[in-house]
Amino acid sequence: MTRQELYQQIQSKGSYLCVGLDADYSRIPRHLLKYEDPVYEFNRQIIDATKGLCVAYKPNLAFYEAQGAKGWASLQKTLAYIPEEHFTIADAKRGDIGNTSRLYARAFFETMDFDAVTVAPYMGEDSVAPFLGFDGKWVILLALTSNQGSRDFQMDKQENGQPLYEKVMRRAQQWGSPDQLMFVVGATHPEQFEEVRRIAPDNFLLVPGVGAQGGDLQSVSRYGFNDHCGLLVNSSRGIIFAGDGEDFAEKARAAAMEVREEMVQLLG
């Protein structure tokens, strides 16, 4: 999916919502356990309930890998069920030496056909470059994440006073264009978004942390928008686990609708 195609989806739906499919088996409504594949059935109903309100889906691979071969099967079926118009993100946080990264890239972009994969930058350019070699595919590079521990290293000031995450973002823009490179910037750091936009004015930002983690959508949008919206705001638990009964999908839709209605106002 190209940047323009993604922006067209945002415009047509009045939404820049990404729904995180963090299908924690221990939290799936109990009535779904009668199905042969409860995880897939949970995801299927969530997708049916939210597909008109979001532009992207982001399965967190840990929740599938933890189930072994069954989990991978659930993930593949889920990916196949997501409508083609939606942007799909493998939240895998990969990053290794070049020949290993090449195989990771093939796994997510060829075997599974995701649109994007999250990548850790710690090992440098040669660990990221293999993911950038696929037409129409995206690298979403970890920059300033939403967890509390992000301050341990990412906010650490360098000799020139520049936080480490800024160095990562500036250097990474030498590796790929805004048509293939996004950055993860957590909603729990709203005070940083104005500076993030000065560093990367044209790149899309994947923004976790809205919802259960307490990030503020209005602040993120105010400082994070660019001419093409430039934001994919992710909500996982706040939507998919809005309810835990037989009406869980309806509750998920209501939660997604609430976010989307706010997005319509913010998009103007």
Annotated catalytic residue 93:
yes
Question: Considering 77, 93, 167, 251, which one is annotated as catalytic?
Answer: 93
For 164, phi and psi rounded to 5 degrees?
Answer: -60, -40
> Can you tell me the distance from the alpha carbon of 139 to that of 119, in angstroms, rounded to the nearest whole number?
7
Residues with catalytic function = 93
